A and B are shown apart, each in its own frame.
Chain A
Amino acid sequence: MNRTRRRLTLALAGAGLAAGCTRSGGDAVRLRFWAMGREGEAAKELLAPFEQANPHIRIEVQQMPWTSAQEKLLTAFAGDVSPDICQLGNTWLPQFAALRALTPLDAPLAASTALDARDYFPGIWDANRVGATLYGIPWYVDTRALYYRKDLLARTGFARPPRDWAEWTRSMAALKARSPSDYAVLLPLNEFEPLLALALQQDAPLLREDGRYGNFRSADFKRTLSFYAGIFRREWAPALSNTQISNVWDEFGNGFFSYYISGPWNIAEFKRRLPADKQGVWMTAPLPGPNGPSASIAGGSSLVVFRSSRHPKEAWQVIEYLSRPEVQGRFYQLTGDLPPRRSAWAEPSLTRDPYAAAFGDQLERAKSPPKVPEWERIATEMRLVTEAVVAGRLSVDEAAAELDARADRILEKRRWMLARGSVQ
């Protein structure tokens, strides 16, 4: 109880402070732009030329740590001190759309000559639509692909990475047989993303009836879950969470596992953290699918304009500027974040990076997770129930039924609201 009270008090105090900062001084238009982590730093640098070219617009970039960003944004919304523009993770977009906190961007997009929806990776673009309305413009993208050890695969007779689950299965069996004390793949038990990526490769949606009910008892999801659980049952993957592996990069270098499903940020990490003699032996590949190359998660961050903004026109100008291919190229150089526009992929430092190519290929087939505000919670339940399957406490059928039950409980309020017509 103590904690709740403290949090609420803090939240109120925070809102008060923020309110103190919103005076608009002079005749220049002041835009408040909130961004998270490293992107916040890069945004300041990227926007300097824009401010020079547009002296009547002043942009105050505020950096937030990722871990508390959602809390800060919700508090700001409750206190009516939301920023004008904000970087928003794709999975949070449905939440803020449900809050009616975001400005629909269809009209400015239709009027814009600088932005072309067809230039964007389709899955990422789709992740920014809730119902028929567009709420965000992708800023950078991320998806999950496969990191693998070329040398260890070659030693077991695989000259190229697997393209489908059958090949992948054979390769994992061979890796485990050759080095029984190591593992073929790392699927951390505290992450839902690897399983989600594999689940999105199937045709059946994860929620049914417009996000009213869970659809985990579908044959498609059960197929994915059986495949995933089988990897653990045959001890091709260690039943570990990421917090128990003190250093994922070292262990990858040690050959503790040969495959790892992760996002593009790990390209830079592996380059930096693996010793020189291990640098030539790893590579990235698109995720193997049930029958050949298939989907993965459409993730990343978008730029949104808050409904409370008094300068939506100027905010849109900033979004247009940050979406220019050359600015996105610079953004990639500064942060390593992959651009969402195909034309920005012509950036030389990106085409020269052999590790990025697999992600570019994967992004063409990236697919958005269900766009309901409750999704992250359901995905967490998916991870917890799967952990019980891996531990042998539930069968695949029991787990699917349990997941549907939990998802239906979580979605109860959404069903009530849909019936009243107060949410999309």
Chain B
Amino acid sequence: MKAERAAWLLVGPALLVIAVFFFVPVLAAFALSLTDFDIYALADLRNLRFVGADNYLTLLATPLFWRALGNTLYFVVLGVPLSIGASLGAALLVNAKLAWLKPFFRTAFFAPVVTSMVAVAVIWRYLYHTRYGFINYVLDLLGLGPVDWLGDPHISMTAIVLFAVWKNFGYNMIIFLAGLQAIPAELYEAAELDGARPLAMLRHITLPALAPTMFMVSILTMAGYFQLFAEPYVMTEGGPLQSTVSVLYFMYEQGFKWWNLGSATAVAFVLFLLMFAVTLLQMRLAGRGMEE
């Protein structure tokens, strides 16, 4: 009994902080999402109307929200596997016994993660330039026609995906590297004695041993990619034809450009529910995978 009270006393401050800085704001935000809070309400609270679920219903009837959701899903579905693939590939390369100048490559691959988004976005805008861009220059050498990377609404999101993957893969690479280095060398030695080929070793030793890391990386990457914002904000401002508006970008414009905080928080909650559901699904799948 006494131990229990001591335990509560010890965790009490932490719980209090979490309650004040997490649960209270979330509850307040939820209350906000049931009103039409905007700058008029900021001037005078009598201008605030309780609208119930109206913000949510209006949102579901807004074509731009669905477009933004579609854009975000496209970004996640294309970006997450690409990003994880690139990270894993880079980690395997940097970790390989034959690799040369390991610290250099490790640093080089990690460099985009720590450089300023705005600075690299400017460079990538030059790379993507339809007339003078390096990417189109290379395509031209290969005999392919120029691609309007950021101006064609069918291609712009793919351009954003490539940029985001390049910017972020180094982070997961470091996590994978740590995972790879934790795999006991004896396993590989034993496999070698049994005459296993490198590909078999990758399939039967490396990947299974990396499964927990992979699980964590995929959840973190997915959660991060659902919150796509800065890339379209600095590269395209959501254009052309709103083809790169993400859910978070949509929320930002509602909340901090037009000050419709009521509907902006409704967007936030919808996004939260969506990410929660996808994460649950991932855990279910991963759990089943690990039991096997």
Residues of A that sit less than 8 Å from B by CB: 1-5, 7-9, 71, 74, 77-78, 95, 98-101, 189-190, 239-241, 243-244, 246, 373, 377, 384, 387-388, 391, 393, 413, 416-417, 422-423
Contact = CB atoms under 8 A, between A and B. Distances in A.
B interface, size bucket: 35 or more
Interface of B is mostly: helix
Contact of B241 (A8, A240, A391): A391
Interface stretch (B105-113, B162-170, B189-197, B264-272): B264-272
B229 to A, nearest CB: 7
B229 A3 contact: yes
Given A413-B38, A417-B47, A246 B125 contact: yes
Given A3-B248, A422-B46, A244 B258 contact: no
Interface stretch (B87-95, B126-134, B203-211, B283-291): B126-134
Contacts, number: 93
Contacts of A377: 257-258
Interface of B: 21, 25-26, 29, 36, 38-40, 42-44, 46-47, 49, 125-126, 129-130, 132, 150-151, 153, 227, 229, 235-237, 239-242, 248, 251-252, 255-259, 264-265, 268-269, 271-272
A241 B268 contact: no
Contacts of B129: 244, 246
Nearest to A387: B241
Most chain B Cβ neighbours within 10 Å, of A1, A8, A243, A377:
A1
**Chain A interface helix/strand/loop/mixed:** helix
B29 A4 contact: yes
A1 B239 contact: no
A181 to B, nearest CB: 10
B147 to A, nearest CB: 13
Contact of B36 (A8, A100, A413, A422): A413
A246 B132 contact: yes
Contacts of A190: 237, 239
B44 A422 contact: yes
Given A3-B252, A243-B125, A243-B235, A384 B39 contact: no
Contacts of A422: 40, 44, 46-47
Contacts of B47: 417, 422
B151 A417 contact: no
